Structures are given as C-alpha cells and as structure tokens.
C-alpha cells in the first residue's frame, strides 16, 4: 500500500449524519431500508456539492471537506441549511411516492439529519488510489458526532459549528446570528466549544416563509442568460459582495449590511459606482434558486424597482439558466420611468454578463484542474427513486400482486 502524505492545509470539515437510522434499521425490511438510505444519502451529497468534496461515506453519514483558510459564514450556513431542506423534502417525497405499507416505508418520518462542522489543519494522503484525510482535526470532527446536544438543548436535527469554525467564518458574536453555545469534553481531545443551530426550527421557518417573487404576469422587463457553472457556484458569484465587483459593470465595491449578522432577507447592499450607489434590499433569499431585491437607483425622482432572479440547472447540471424579471410598477408615472430606463438596464446587464461568464469559466477550469490532481471521490449509492407500488413482507421481496389482493 502506497501512502503519499500531502502538505498540511486548512479545511472546513462537515459530517452529515442521518440520525435514527440504527434503531430504524432494527425493525424494518432490509431491502427497502437500504434503498431509502441510498436515496437520502444521494440527496445529501448532491446538496453539499460542489462547494464540498466527498471524503468518505461512513455508514449512514457523509464526510465532506473544502480546503480553505477562511469561510464565508453566510454561505456556509446557507449550504448546511439548504442540505437539510433538501433532505426533508426528499424524505417527504419518498413517503408521498410510496404506496407500500411495510415498516421501512411507514417509519421514514423517524429519520432525521444532523451536522457537525469544524475548521482546522488536515493532511490528505493517498492510500491504494483513494484519498484519506488525517490529523487531529479529523479526529475532533468525528468525536463530535457523539454529543449531548439533544439531551442538553433539545433538537434532534441541528448543525453544531465548532468555535474554530466560527472564527474562520468571521462571526464575532455567534449568539447574534441565533446560535446557542454548547460544550463537550472528550479524552485526548479535551474540551470543544461549539455553537448550535436548530435545523427543525429553520425548516419550519422555511416552510412558512412566503416566496416573494416577480411572476410572469407582473413582469415589465425580462432578461435571460446562461452561466457556465452549476447553480450553487453561479449563485455565489451573483450574490457575494467580494465577487460582484470582479464582473459587474461599473461596480467598485459592494457594502453589505446583513440582518442579524447573516446575508439573507432584509440585508441591504450599497453597490458603489464612483460617487453614487445603487441601494438593494433583499426580499427573497432561497439559494441557489431565487433572489428578489428591491433597488433604488441613484437617479432623482426614480422609484424603487423590484427584481427577481431565477436560477435553474441545465439538463446536464453543468450550467445555469438565469431568468431576470423586473416588476411592472403600479402607476403610470413609474411605468413611464421604467420604460425610459429599460435600454440603460439592458446595456448594464449585457456589459456584466460577459465578464461573469468569463470569470466562471476560469473558476470551473481551476476546479477541474484541481480535481484532476486528486483521486476520484467515493461512489455514492443511488436509490431506485422510492416510487414503491407493491407491498412487501418483512425479509422478503415484493409480494405478487394477485397474492396481495387475495390476502
């Protein structure tokens, strides 16, 4: 076995663990249970990519990482919560798609998902053509899976960020962004300070939140373009205050004022153009699918305009179709102003799309080159879609339809 140690690197480490699976497995039919686990694991890994690389599948957990010295705190929290939302939606879809009344399908709601997120120095080693992460911080993140968060704080579904990760995220006061302190002590590792987000509460808020977007019938001006990157990466370039000046025509700086320390609904951006600035207020934030802003242009007597951007993956998932809709104002005067500004707005977009596409090509080429230097990621099992139409018996395959009807 050849082992080639790599140089130490700072990395963000995440373990997404499907909780309740061991007890679930003890009382259900194995064939459907394994298929459900494969389906859910695939949904989790898909939601974490491409921001994170899969290091290993560990039973009912996925261990992923991203090599980085610093972490965009808002983006990381969005990624974790987006993954949890995808898991919950997939769990719901599996239950709704199945007509099977076996225990494996009936007990699906007993499953949940928790995350531990850490940041620290690791080394990557190649072992027999595979990549292994080693180092103290790898031990720390795995030890954190065994914790007392549920017993101490209550939630079954949660994200536990270590203090080291919080520092890398640049969050000065975690309580301000709704995180709750939690401490664990382990042999060898010692005390680990962490901060917890209740993901069940985040899911309830997501489900109850109205999706404010510009509908086709409300649209006065629309634009469409394609970006050469999957939606998660396109979203980052479209919304990051650091990245926007690199491609957006005339923008020198984006000054961000997030709500409660985190980018999202209520965040105000000042897009600085020389002495002037366009003021944007985020009204809908559903990464990486929907962004709605209300913007005030630095032109006298100009009303605020509402604009929604919709991101959809192309058929192969490698690119993103972006649709932009600007809402038709309610009164004639404002509609007249928008009509007068329309040529300028279109010109500004056309001047920005080209540089954005070029920047994304460079980004994707760099990612491809980096990936080519590494062993392939582990295979992820793919479920059968969980559209079960035939009942099964415990320990048996599908029951014959005629037998099922006669029993």
What pLDDT shows up at residue 397? Answer: 42
Rank 113-127, 250-264, 385-399 by mean pLDDT and report only the highest: 113-127
Whole-number pLDDT of residue 402: 39
Using the predicted structure, report yes or no on whether residue 375 has a pLDDT greater than 70.
yes
Residue 405 has pLDDT above 50, yes or no: no
What's the average model confidence in pLDDT over 2-21? 82
Span 18-36, mean pLDDT? 75
Q: Which of 227, 225, 223, 224 is nearest to 318 (CA)?
A: 227
What's residue 236's pLDDT? 96
Which structural domains are found in the chain, ordered by start?
A: 3-206 (3.30.70.1230), 212-369 (3.30.530.20)
pLDDT digits (tens, 9 = 90+) for 31-88: 777 888 888 999 999 999 999 999 999 988 999 999 999 999 999 999 999 999 999 9
Which of 27-31, 283-287, 370-374 reaches the highest mean pLDDT? 283-287
6 has pLDDT over 90: no
User: Which one is predicted more confidently, 25 or 134?
Assistant: 134
For 166-182, the pLDDT digits (tens) are 999 999 999 988 999 99
User: What's the pTM?
Assistant: 0.88
Mean pLDDT of the chain: 89
């Amino acid at each position: 076995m050849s082992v080639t140690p790599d140089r130490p690197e700072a990395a963000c480490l995440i373990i997404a663990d499907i909780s309740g699976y061991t007890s679930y497995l003890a009382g259900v039919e194995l064939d459907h249970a394994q298929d459900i686990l494969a389906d859910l694991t695939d949904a989790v890994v898909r939601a974490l990519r491409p921001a994170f690389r899969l290091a290993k599948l560990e039973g009912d957990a996925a261990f992923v990482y991203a090599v980085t010295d610093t972490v965009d705190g808002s983006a990381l929290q969005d990624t974790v919560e987006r993954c949890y939302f995808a898991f919950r939606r997939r769990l719901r879809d599996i239950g709704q798609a199945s007509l099977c009344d076996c225990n494996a399908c009936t007990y699906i709601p007993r499953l949940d998902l928790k995350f531990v997120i850490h940041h620290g120095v690791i080394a990557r080693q190649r072992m027999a053509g595979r990549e292994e992460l080693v180092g103290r911080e790898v031990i720390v993140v795995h030890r954190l899976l065994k914790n007392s968060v549920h017993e101490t704080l209550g939630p079954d579904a949660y994200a536990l960020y270590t203090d080291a990760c919080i520092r890398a995220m640049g969050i000065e006061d975690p309580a301000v962004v709704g995180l709750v302190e939690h401490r664990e002590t382990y042999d060898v590792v010692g005390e680990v300070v962490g901060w917890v987000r209740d993901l069940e509460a985040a899911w309830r808020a997501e489900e109850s939140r109205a999706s404010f977007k510009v509908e086709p019938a409300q649209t006065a001006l629309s634009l469409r373009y394609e970006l050469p990157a999957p939606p998660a990466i396109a979203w980052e370039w479209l919304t990051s205050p650091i990245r926007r000046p690199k491609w957006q025509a005339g923008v020198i700086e984006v000054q961000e004022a997030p709500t409660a320390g985190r980018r999202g609904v209520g965040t105000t951006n000042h897009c600085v153009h020389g002495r002037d600035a366009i003021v944007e207020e985020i009204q809908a934030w559903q990464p990486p699918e929907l962004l709605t802003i209300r913007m005030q242009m630095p032109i006298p007597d100009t009303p605020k305009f509402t604009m929604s951007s919709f991101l959809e993956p192309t058929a192969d998932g490698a690119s993103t179709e972006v649709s932009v809709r600007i809402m038709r104002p309610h009164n004639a005067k404002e509609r007249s102003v928008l009509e007068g500004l329309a040529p300028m707005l279109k010109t500004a977009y056309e001047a920005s799309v080209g540089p954005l596409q070029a920047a994304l090509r460079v980004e994707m080429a760099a990612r491809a080159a980096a990936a080519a230097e590494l062993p392939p990621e582990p295979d992820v099992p793919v479920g059968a879609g969980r559209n079960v139409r035939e009942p099964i018996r415990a320990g048996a395959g599908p029951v014959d339809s005629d037998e099922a009807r006669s029993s």
